[in-house]
Amino acid sequence: MTHFPVEKIRADFPILAQKIRGKDLVYLDNAASCQKPNAVIDAIGDLYRNDYANIHRGVHTLSVRSTDKFEGARGKVRDFINAASEKEIVFVRGATEAINLVAQSYGRANIRAGDEILITGMEHHSNIVPWQLLCEQTGAVLKVAPINRKGELIYEAFDALLSEKTRLVAVAHMSNALGTINPVEKIIAAAHARSVPVLLDGAQAAPHMKVDVKALDCDFYAFSGHKLYGPSGIGVLYGKQALLEAMPPYQGGGDMIRKVTFEKSDYNKLPYKFEAGTPSIADVVGLGAAIDYLNAVGMENVAAYEAELLDYATERARNIDGLTIIGEAAQKGAILSFVLENVHPHDIGTMLDSLGIAIRAGHHCAMPVMDFFEVPATARASFAMYNTRAEIDVLMQGIESLIKVFG
């Protein structure tokens, strides 16, 4: 097994040291939200204790300090995903708002009745509903490329659905319900051959692999802070500068304007045109701290270690009678979704919680995926860089014990 300083990393996450119902906490709900290292907690506290003031508008010392930290974090995000400019980094509340921003700004300006938006059958609701709303508003049509029983995109079907009517492709970089990593380079190349822009939902991918938006050549990339070991309530929309320049504002108010009269308003330059109102200043600073932390560990190291955890968990799971893994794509992130014979996923989650094990049970905001696999829900264990093989052993022992209970 690759040497990875997991015990050192675990010591940086204070929440992991507690006991739940008398048992050591085994936190395996990372696809829903990751825990926070001291570096992030301290960065937020330090801002509030020493530097906090509203940003961009003040000439006093505290405002300047807050602004410097806020914009410094924007630079960290730019470098983290290798964007060309800080103008391409828009702070939003999360990946969901980022996708809604593109739907309502780019979509309303460029998509008309009869046009088509192409997604896949494995999308999170956040990459389905905004496009459904846009279709209702414009008369456009939502097309869905199917997946196979392994949870993989049927690429040939996707390619066949690309047509002269396609105006936008929106695809998960990595599925939250299945762990599938989509062939996004191939998808982007095929779409661009037809001059169709591509949005990638990177909420699951960004915390677990190196993301390079220049190399991908995606037009938009959305991700959330809370899955990236940062605070909740903050996220990022990356957009190519030329596209963002041409898009109308998403919301109106303070900081997105240059000049306001009752007759007309002139909008601010990028990225501020899309950042109306006082932003979540401390959470942006916390996101910057999370990126610093991940950079110190190394995203390539994170990806390699988590791949080993997934391989180990998958091997253990396959040896449990009555357990069926949902989603066995060849290219997959560290997510293990499963069902048990005669045991509802919610009962699995409740029983495992009594053993101190935190997993997710439900439809994972991916109801069409559940419908495809003909299950009401799945149990989902999702791994992060602070998880261990020993924790996976505890999980598997817990599953085996509840199988005995349910007979």
What Cα–Cα distance (Å) separates residue 245 from each residue in 169, 239, 269? 20, 10, 8
Residues in Cβ contact with 291 at an 8 Å cutoff, skipping those fewer than 6 apart:
73, 76, 77, 80, 228, 230
Q: What pLDDT does residue 407 have?
A: 75
Q: What pLDDT does residue 358 have?
A: 98
- Cβ atoms of 252 and 222 closer than 8 Å: no
- Sorted by where each starts, the structural domains of the chain and their CATH numbers stand as 6-30+298-406 (3.90.1150.10), 41-296 (3.40.640.10)
Q: What pLDDT does residue 254 have?
A: 79
Distance CA 304, CA 285 (A): 28
Tell me if the pTM is above 0.95: yes
Catalytic residue of the set 34, 135, 218, 365: 365
Helix or strand (DSSP H, E) at 238: strand 235-239
Q: What pLDDT does residue 2 have?
A: 58
Please count the other Cβ atoms lying within 10 Å of the Cβ belonging to residue 117. 26
Amino acid at 178: L
Beta strands 378-382 and 257-260, pairing class:
unpaired
Distance CA 91, CA 77 (A): 10
Please count the other Cβ atoms lying within 10 Å of the Cβ belonging to residue 374. 6
Active site residue 365: yes
What does pLDDT average to in each consecutive run of 10 residues of the chain (407 residues)?
88 97 97 98 98 92 96 98 98 98 97 98 98 98 98 98 98 98 98 98 98 98 98 98 95 80 81 92 98 98 98 98 96 97 94 96 93 95 98 98 90
Beta strands 141-145 and 116-120, pairing class:
parallel
- Give the three-class secondary structure for 381: strand
> What sign for the dihedral angle of Cα 215, 221, 224, 227?
negative
Distance CA 378, CA 326 (A): 8
| Cβ contacts of 135-141, under 8 Å, gap ≥ 24 | 137/108, 138/107, 138/108, 138/111, 138/112, 138/113, 139/112, 139/113, 139/114, 140/111, 140/112, 140/113, 140/114, 140/115, 140/116, 140/167, 141/114, 141/115, 141/116, 141/117, 141/165
Distance CA 339, CA 28 (A): 16
What Cα–Cα distance (Å) separates residue 129 from each residue in 15, 95, 365, 366? 34, 13, 11, 11
Q: What pLDDT does residue 258 have?
A: 79
Distance CA 307, CA 360 (A): 20
- Cβ atoms of 134 and 115 closer than 8 Å: no
Beta strands 198-201 and 220-224, pairing class:
parallel
Amino acid at 392: I
- Angle at the Cα of 237 (from 98 to 52), degrees rounded to 5? 100
In the block, residue with structure tokens 């030329």:
242
